[in-house]
Structure 1
Amino acid sequence: MTMKLEWAGLANARDLGGIPLGNGGYTVAGAFARSDHPQMLTPAGWDQLASYGIRTVVSLETGGLEGEAAFRANRPVEAPEHISAELLRVPIEDGSDDDFMERWARTGLWGTPLYFKDALERWPELHGTALNVLGTAERPVLVHCGRGHDRTGIMSLLLLTVAGATGEGITEDYLQSARNLQAREPSAVEKGEAALQRAGTTALECIQGAMAAVTDDWLRGAGVETEALANIRSSLPGDDTTVF
């Protein structure tokens, strides 16, 4: 089950607690949260974020862009003065990669899990650096992008895979994003489902394919630090008695 956070102004804020683990337990709340862009928060929403105790806000960005394109893709967070959380900006993809852009962005498939495995294999160092930032940041950590769907989706997948979550649980968390966005984007669910049908696959199969790419060799090649892995694995998993 997903743990929705009622932060005024956001449609896609939720905690990564309550997701089933392969050992029969669940991820615990209060370590990592995910959302759409915090700049959409109302003053009341910022107060709700602060009350939740968020200590670090990590903005997942698209590198390799310049000028207006960079600003549109990577709008900076401007927090009110009373928000004491550290604000970090981390690129996890390269917008100057023409092959990637042609294959995924220009075909409209960037907003689906179809691209996840390719992105992880294409840019392991970028994703590894982001895992290091998330794993060593002061918690609770909020991770976000623009819609809270794609960049946030792939990093949530990485966090949950490292923590030992099930493919079914990660997929349900992923699919919740489009459902949450429907009020703002009425075709969000329909477009995703149609793309998967055309590709002859399912969200679960895409998620499982991306998870399978996150091997020990991948983690080493991505430069993921032992401390970051240990922190994620100690902060997210709970036990089979955890109740949400």
Structure 2
Amino acid sequence: MQSGFTIDGLANARDLGGLDRADGSTTPTGVFIRAETLDRMTPSGWERLSAYGVRTVIDLRRPQERTGEIPDGLRRVNVDLDGDDHTFWAPLEADGRWGTPLYYLSHLDELPHRLAEVLQAIASADEGAVLFHCGAGWDRTGLVAAVLLRALDVTEDAAVADYLASFSNAEAMATLHKRSFHAEERREILARFGHTAETAFRTAYQNLDLDEWFGRTDIDPATRLAVTTWRGYATASALR
């Protein structure tokens, strides 16, 4: 069961610990936290994150999206997971796939350097928990979460449940951040491509071959080890 995680100022945050792995174990808690924008964080929320052990915040947003400050004592690393490759993004933005798991595998295939930079930031993060986020904590954050879960061979059902939690959190997110996160629009787009939210993510996760991806990138061994052992807090799995 995934660890509960309540932070004042966040509505789509969760610890990636407690998820079932194929070998019967579960992912360790207090290593990776996923979240949405931190703009609504309160002092008590920051205190909670600090007490939880978070020492590094990785912002996955584009430069023009970055907002807000973080307290002293936390290290912020900005990594643009999207990039500005118009040829890649234009068709995805035109038909709506950019806001769904339907772009994940293409992104890994065509823009591998983007994920590589994120993984290097994770590997070189200060000792302590790493929080990574984008705007909604849904798409870019979801892609990085999928990679980290695949790295420990988290079961499909557990990985899907983690992804779907963002849909469950959409109303609370809208209330907190005072804007819509378009859950129904996402479902409608997926339906046009013959998917539900569950099948879209499950298909991407099933076909996310990290062993193959690592084999064709120039990721250094230390970074690969940090990812496949969750920074040394877990035993490595045979990647699929």
Shorter-normalised TM range? 0.7 to 0.9
Q: Which moved more, 1:150-159 or 1:181-190?
A: 181-190
Conserved in 2, the CA contact under 8 Å of 1:56 and 1:142? yes
- Matched residue, 1:126: 114
Q: Map 1:10-49 onto structure 2 (within 5 A).
A: 10-49=10-49
Q: After the TM superposition, which parts of structure 1 deviate over 6 Å for at least 4 consecutive aligned residues? A: none
Counterpart of 1:98, as a letter, is H
- Matched residue, 1:234: 229
* Distance of 1:12 and 1:33 partners within structure 2: 10
Tell me the C-alpha RMSD between the 2 structures.
Answer: 2.2
Shift of 1:127: 0.5
* Distance of 1:227 and 1:102 partners within structure 2: 35
Name which of 111, 114, 117 aligns with 2:105: 117
TM-score, scaled relative to structure 1: 0.83
Shift of 1:237: 4.1
* Distance of 1:22 and 1:28 partners within structure 2: 14
Shift of 1:134: 1.1
* Distance of 2:69 and 2:161 partners within structure 1: 31
Distance 1:88 1:109, change over 3 A: same
Counterpart of 1:145, as a letter, is C
Conserved in 2, the CA contact under 8 Å of 1:33 and 1:142? yes
Shift of 1:152: 0.5
* Distance of 1:201 and 1:99 partners within structure 2: 24
Number of residue pairs matched? 227
- Matched residue, 2:61: 61
- Matched residue, 2:70: 79
Name which of 100, 103, 116 aligns with 2:91: 103
* Distance of 1:186 and 1:199 partners within structure 2: 23
TM-score, scaled relative to structure 2: 0.85
Shift of 1:209: 4.0
Shift of 1:126: 1.1
Shift of 1:60: 0.7
- Matched residue, 1:151: 140
Conserved in 2, the CA contact under 8 Å of 1:14 and 1:33? yes
Shift of 1:174: 0.9
Conserved in 2, the CA contact under 8 Å of 1:136 and 1:227? no
* Distance of 2:118 and 2:48 partners within structure 1: 26
Conserved in 1, the CA contact under 8 Å of 2:54 and 2:129? yes
Verify: 1:198 aligned to 2:226, yes or no: no
- Matched residue, 2:214: 219
Verify: 1:7 aligned to 2:29, yes or no: no
* Distance of 2:107 and 2:142 partners within structure 1: 12
Q: Which moved more, 1:189-198 or 1:228-237?
A: 228-237
Conserved in 2, the CA contact under 8 Å of 1:93 and 1:126? yes
* Distance of 1:148 and 1:221 partners within structure 2: 28
* Distance of 2:217 and 2:187 partners within structure 1: 31
Shift of 1:41: 0.2
Shift of 1:194: 2.1
Gaps of 5+ in 2: 236-240
Conserved in 1, the CA contact under 8 Å of 2:150 and 2:208? no
Conserved in 2, the CA contact under 8 Å of 1:125 and 1:221? no
Gaps of 5+ in 1: 63-69, 239-244
Conserved in 1, the CA contact under 8 Å of 2:12 and 2:169? yes
